[in-house]
Amino acid sequence: MNDPLLLRERQMARISPYFPFAQHGALRADDRRVVSGTVYLHTLLPCPNYVTKP
């Protein structure tokens, strides 16, 4: 794996049962890239609903 931002095989195997099996309509994007991008953005952007206690 050349890209350090992509999830590892072990991580993908753990969450892959939650992906849809059938493909209807448009072609699907690569699951690994989509999930990795979502995780990456989630770690960068603060959640507006999260309140820290002083």
Reported pTM: 0.55
Contact (CB, 8 A) for 51 and 16: no
| Angle, alpha carbons 35-15-37 (nearest 5°) | 10
The per-residue pLDDT for 42 is: 72
Q: In terms of Cα–Cα distance, which of 39, 44, 40, 32 is closest to 8?
A: 32
Residue 22 token pair = 């059938």
**pLDDT tens-digit profile, the chain (54 residues):** 466 667 888 888 888 888 777 777 777 777 888 888 888 777 777 666 666 666
The per-residue pLDDT for 4 is: 67
